[in-house]
Amino acid sequence: MRPSRLGCIRFSVALQVRRFRADVRGVTAIEFGMVAAPFFIFLMGIMTLGTQYLTSHFLEYGAEVAARKLRTGEAQKAGLTLAQFRTLYCNSVGFMVDCDAHLLKIHINSSQRFADLPQVNCMTSGGDLAEPPGNPGDNIRTRAGDASNAVKVNICYDWQVGVAFWKTLWAVLNPDHAVADKLVLSTATAFRSEPYE
């Protein structure tokens, strides 16, 4: 008895289905396609966070080195101007920080008591970095005061990551730093200057 044509078709379809199920070629490509996008987003996130922490470290290190000149009175005795102090900071901050005047602002405030030091807000209501008080040619004493004063140095930095994707990703990962479409990093150091006089 010859098998019917319909039976042959069923057998052929069943055979093809079994072959398809047993065929594992291309599974790796399909699996990679499913995990590639999350993997690369995660990788870019790690790179962004690493870059942010490295930049923050350089900002803090530069602030400590430059502020030491104020704490010991070295900057005041030398008669440095605010512009020269900025140069001193930029020379010690490292390669990760762009010292362009539009991206980096240094606020120096002094008082007899720490409680009287003003609160510094890095951003204006218009979304720009706040300008520090004083003119670049002013003597550093006009902002840092004299011996035994309480001094606070605030550094505000508009972090230009350079890649729009990174900026968007960072704003998602850490929305606290995303202010007015800017990624602002800041550091501060406060101390009482030594009685150098």
Mean pLDDT by groups of 10 residues along the chain of 197 residues:
62 74 75 88 82 91 95 94 95 88 93 94 88 94 94 93 64 63 87 89
Q: What is the pLDDT of residue 43?
A: 87
Report pLDDT for 1.
46
Is the distance from CB of 70 to CB of 144 less than 8 angstroms? yes
pTM here is: 0.75
Of the candidates 157, 105, 160, 93, the one whose C-alpha atom is nearest the C-alpha of residue 133 is: 105
Q: What is the pLDDT, as a whole number, of residue 37?
A: 86
